[in-house]
Chains A and B, each alone.
Chain A
Amino acid sequence: MLDSLSNSLKDAVKKLAGKAVVDRAAVDELVRDLQRALIQADVNVKLVMGLSQSIKKRALEEELPKGMGVRDHVLRIVYQELVSLMGPEAEVSLKPQTILMAGLQGSGKTTTTAKLCRYFQRKGLKVGAICCDNFRPGAFTQLQTLCQRINVPIYGDPKEKDALRIVKNGLTALRDVEVIIVDTAGRHALEDDLIEEIMQINAIVKPSHRWLVIDAALGQAARDQARRFHEAIGIDGVVITKMDGTAKGGGALSAVAETNSSIVFIGSGETIDDLERFEPNGFISRMLGMGDLKALVERAEDVMEGGDLDVNAMLKGKFTLKDMYKQLEALNKMGPLKQVLSMLPLGGMNVPNEVYDVTSVKMERYRIMMDSMTDDEMDDPSLLGTSRIHRIAMGSGSSVDDVRELIKYYKMMQRALKGFKGGGRFSMNRMMKQFGGGDKLV
């Protein structure tokens, strides 16, 4: 269902290609598909309607820049409008600060609190957390368990009924740490007493930031909920959680538009390292069903602590089996394959689910086969003839077919990466490949 949607979006884009003048009917179709895509991604309906009006207006009225095709022109407008919806890129300073977490029940505040502790800890800061959720049973134990694993001090008292007192005591107890993250109980816009409570907490903590945690699956309600939180404590950042599911996070976009803030982090997995800095490029790509390379690069750099994988060389098209070997090793560290693949430039391709299940086993086999290759072969895979393949198969205890499959896989990766070279931060060329030509990789 979702795939058919992004396919129809792709088709609509294709129709714009090669046109010399902007075709009203084609733009209409594109805008309609875009509307459906955004609504299905849970962006607020009113927001979508307003957005598509201005996209259509600009696409039809703005003069075509010299040397730019209709398709690029329209896509640039789409992109610009979407980015402007997201507000300016949020700065996360690495100075001593206090952050207050707010959000609905079950949106993932406690998990995100622990992830943020980990994030600032990795940046070399002294971190502490206060748990003033004394309503939900187990909330303190949950945060305590998570923080103990990473040796972060936490203050909380599940027996104390008064959240305000916990906060006061917590601030005293943690006066030595540089970054304090305050986790609060889940609450929603219609619970006036709880909204009142968080206003009081806000008054006591005087936090540097007040972040709203939004579940990626949150629908149209996001707008009203965000408004209420914003009125109460002045939200200045949004964290999207559970982006490892299939939800697209459009609700967060509504929240950002409503609070005039920006998205700060994205939570995308169950382990404590699964927190990414927000990148408008990547978010939009994911929402519209395109690959996002930049987030992958950033994540790769962060997780591997440098040196393991030369992403730039790969991007230049110089991709050998050695690179692939490193890449496979890196994949292990980078978490679920599906998540990584969704960021790889294969994004436009329809990978069947079974592929992900098999692949982690297969990856390991590939690695063993590559261990049986010589250095020369790794550098220049074109050397691999029948007799060498035989030798490798014997050496690694696999079959000739397995080795051939490995080579096929390598070639596919190489082709995919080649398609991505060139282009700076945001290349129209690149975007188009994802929109238009991604499917042929299958």
Chain B
Amino acid sequence: MFEGLKNKLRDVRSRFGASIEETLEESPVSPSPATPVADLTAQEPAPESTKDEIHPHEGVLEAASEKKPKSGFFTKVKTLVIEREFILTEKDLEDPLFELEMILLESDVALPVTDAIIAHMRTSLVGNHRKIRESPDEIVTLALKNALREVLGEGLDLPGFIRSHEKPVKILFTGVNGTGKTTSIAKVSDFLKKKGFSIVIGAGDTYRAGAIEQIRVHADRLGIRLIHHQEGADPSAVLFDAVEYARAHKVDVVLADTAGRFHNRANLMSQLEKIRRIFKPDLIFYVDEATAGNDAVVRAAEFEKTIGADGVMLTKVDMDKKGGSAISIAYTIGKPLVFLGVGQEYEDIVLFTPDLIINEILGEDA
């Protein structure tokens, strides 16, 4: 997973490195000697260009494919004596940063999130000339790593959480239609069962045709008790019964399915609120798909606002190797990713840890 992002980031990182080294190489050519005064004035161009927050997007295709013309850069260095030497100015970063922006966008990182990451990269890179001199590659990697770590969060140790809390631990699954809530519940059940927990599932999707049948088949296959009413029943009542069952039978975990709903439907969202009130979940998992684009941000924010979320489960990661929506969602609601769904089988589920992903994307060898 995350292969696409990984490969592309590798490219851009070498470009960053190249751009920085270019600056280093060419600086001695500049006619005027370095003085402490020049150092001060050299800071000036940076704030000047920060007001140009949005890059000139047009002409991107050329900009992205063509290498920076060396001679142009050369003359620029010569004429703008003030801007010369080691300091990495906004201008030097413009091309690589723009390229990074495109890569993030193409990897389905939502526009506002991309903007934030680019801004983070810019502030942490511009002006740091001494460190750059030591090792350009390292500082770029570090900046990217920090940006991603900041966004991805720390993960959540679910088995640990369950052990340290009063039983039954109640987990509610929410999300929009078709993201894979029901399948995810089956996978999480399987995962927890293998860790030695006892589980009961509440069939809270009483709306979609065939939903109860779907979860029933999963529960049968996994040998897990399912509490369900018939189609059209009140989901809160079903889940209440599931909790009662868990109490009576000393079950460790209650997993509650809910019907998919769009965040812009007030009545469905208030139904979910009622479910939360009655079910009193210890954890709310927001389920969304890796393939979602910019809307991932909109709906994650809306779910977080109305119902809240304690963790994110990202599904269909096998479908989209780029994994950008993981970054979007985590950034938007600031809650840890807990699981990744990576296939159609029950065991196709991965417990998320930030280092795993960051190292996978950036590669520890670098």
Interface residues of A (CB under 8 A from B): 1-2, 28, 31-32, 35-36, 39-42, 45-46, 49-50, 52-53, 56, 104-108, 110, 135-146, 188-190, 215-221, 225, 241-242, 244-248, 250-251, 270, 336, 338, 353, 356-357
Contacts and interface: CB of A to CB of B under 8 A. Distances in A.
A268 to B, nearest CB: 11
Contacts of A219: 108, 291-294, 296, 320, 324-325
B293 A42 contact: yes
Contacts of B299: 217, 245-246
Given A40-B111, A219-B325, A356-B266, A105 B316 contact: yes
Interface residues of B, number: 60
A216 B289 contact: no
A207 B108 CA distance: 33
13 contacts: A31-B57, A40-B110, A53-B61, A106-B289, A107-B178, A137-B217, A137-B218, A141-B213, A146-B209, A215-B178, A218-B292, A247-B298, A357-B266
A53 B208 contact: no
A93 to B, nearest CB: 29
B61 to A, nearest CB: 5
Contacts of B59: 53
Interface stretch (B99-107, B125-133, B349-357): B99-107
A35 B320 CA distance: 23
Given A32-B54, A219-B325, A106 B294 contact: no
B264 A338 contact: yes
A190 B318 contact: yes
- Most chain A CB neighbours (cut-off 10 Å) among B180, B208, B209, B292: B209
Contact of B292 (A110, A188, A217): A217
Contacts of B213: 137-138, 141-142
Contacts of B212: 138
Interface of B: 54, 56-61, 102, 105-108, 110-112, 176-180, 183, 207-218, 231, 262-267, 289, 291-299, 302, 315-316, 318-320, 322, 324-325, 344
Contacts, number: 180
A352 to B, nearest CB: 12
A108 B177 contact: yes
The 10 closest A-B pairs by CB, nearest first: A219-B293, A142-B210, A138-B214, A137-B217, A42-B293, A106-B178, A145-B209, A247-B295, A138-B210, A138-B213
A217 B56 CA distance: 27
A336 to B, nearest CB: 7
- Most chain A CB neighbours (cut-off 10 Å) among B262, B295, B319: B295
B291 A218 contact: yes
Contacts of B231: 145
A190 B319 contact: yes
Contacts of A145: 209-210, 231
A45 B105 contact: yes
A1 B113 CA distance: 12
B316 A104 contact: yes
A242 B263 CA distance: 12
Contacts of A2: 298
A45 B213 CA distance: 40
A142 B322 CA distance: 32
Contacts of A42: 293-295
B291 A104 contact: yes
A267 to B, nearest CB: 10
Nearest to B266: A357
Contacts of A106: 177-180, 289, 315-316
Nearest to A5: B111
Contacts of B216: 137-138
Contacts of B320: 219, 221
A247 B178 CA distance: 14
Contacts of B298: 1-2, 246-247
Contacts of A353: 264, 266
A374 to B, nearest CB: 36
Contact of A221 (B177, B267, B291): B291
Contacts of A190: 318-319
Contacts of B289: 106, 217
A32 B295 contact: no
A189 B54 CA distance: 35
